[in-house]
Amino acid sequence: MRRPTLLVLVGLLIALCGAARLHAELVWTSGQGWRVEGGALSVLSGEEGRTALELMNQARAAEEAGSVRSAIKGYEKVAKRYPNSVFSAEALYRTGLLYEKRRQYYKAFDSFQNLVQRYPGSERFSQVVGDQYRISQALLDGKRSYMWGVIPGLKNREKSIEYFEQIVKNAPFSDYAPLSLMNVARGHQRMGATEEAIDALDRMINSYPGNVLTPDAYLKLAQTHASLVDGPPYDQASTKAAITYYEDYLIQFPGDSGAGSAEKGLAEMKTMLAQSKMIMADYYYKYRRNYKAAKVFYNEAITTFPDSPVAARARTMLADVDARLAGENPPAVPAEQKATEPKKKKRFWLF
């Protein structure tokens, strides 16, 4: 290796190692106020720097004295006047905390969002995303954002869903992203927006297949599809989707705590689908006398859920259909099935 090339590489290594030391950090101590440590990058110099530091100290003194409004004004002034300084990110962070303290959740979230967007390399990034998650969770649980910190507003779960979606965009690879998608689904379900809930759960299992929450997402996805089922006479697309997700859940997570619930739900959905096949079969049998078509649907009912009572009845009807197709007398209906048929009421005539 040539000597100039080696010197260049060594220089780059030194520069990279020294970058952390050059990065400035704002530190607060109750006796001394704010001070800059760690380097000179992003620090204002001269009169401008002294003014920014003085404003930060005044805002923190107001905060410590309980004058929240004055502190917010001071921090907002710093963030606006000195956007490229080390003071701005901390000012936005303190502003968000103070707005949250006043239960002005919308303004608190916006302050944190400004920090995330303007200073993605901030050491507080993960902490701020956690603060945003906390605010979103509070709104989803029904807390009200206060106007001017005094007047409670209306509950706004739609806003919480918007915030959770923003968290997913801010930090898609953080632990908060899958949690946020689960809460998006929960919020939509509480508002009756089932299709939107399904979309959120679907994004969750596709984006984070190895996450600890993925089994729960599969189970909730199956249960949500099942909630859309209207009954055997109606379209069975949701029934089939629920069966698919129940089966996927049981195959992929056999030892999960929700396995019992999944098995029960799967049996209910298979019964529903088998009953829908029986309705079609009975229609062709009774009203169209199309025994070939009836046979197809009776077989499908058996295949759908072989060990169910529905399948047992389908086998009985299938024997009847086979006899008719062969030109033979159909077998008698078993006594136990006759007993289930409603008896005709006797009529008494008085003369």
3-state secondary structure of 262: helix
With left for phi above 0 and alpha for psi between -120 and 50, is residue 331 left, alpha or beta?
Answer: beta
Torsion of CA 50, 52, 58, 63, to 10 degrees: -140
List C-alpha distances in Å: 330 to 120, 282, 288, 291, 321.
77, 15, 17, 12, 7
Sequence-ordered strand ranges (E) for the chain: 25-29, 33-37, 144-147, 151-155
The two three-digit tokens of residue 190, written as one number? 């509480």
pLDDT at position 4 is: 47
Given this model, what pLDDT does residue 341 score? 39
Of 209, 215, 158, the C-alpha closest to 188 is 158
Q: Where are the domains of the chain?
A: 25-101, 124-204
Between CA 236 and CA 270 the distance in angstroms is 11
- Cβ-count burial 215-244 (b if 16+ within 10 Å, e if not): bbbbbbbbbbbbeebeebeeebebbebbbe
pTM of the model: 0.82
3-state class (DSSP) for residue 28: strand
Which residues have a Cβ under 8 Å from the Cβ of 87 and sit 6 or more positions away?
Answer: 26, 34, 44, 52, 53, 55, 56, 78
Residue 32 pLDDT: 65
Instruction: Provide the pLDDT for residue 229.
Output: 96
DSSP tag of 41: B
Whole-number Å distance between alpha carbons of 38 and 18: 11
Cα 112 to Cα 105: distance, rounded to the nearest angstrom: 11
Name the burial class of residue 16, with classes exposed (0-12), middle (13-18) and buried (19+) by CB atoms within 10 angstroms of its CB: exposed
Q: List per-block mean pLDDT (blocks of 10 residues) for the chain, which spans 351 residues.
A: 46 42 65 66 66 92 94 96 90 97 97 96 94 98 94 95 98 97 97 96 97 97 96 96 97 95 97 97 95 96 96 95 84 49 40 26
Sign of the CA dihedral running 119, 120, 123, 127? positive
What is the C-alpha to C-alpha distance for residues 115 and 109, in angstroms, rounded to an integer? 10
> What integer pLDDT is reported at residue 20 of this predicted model?
40
Q: Which residue has the tokens 């030892």?
A: 255
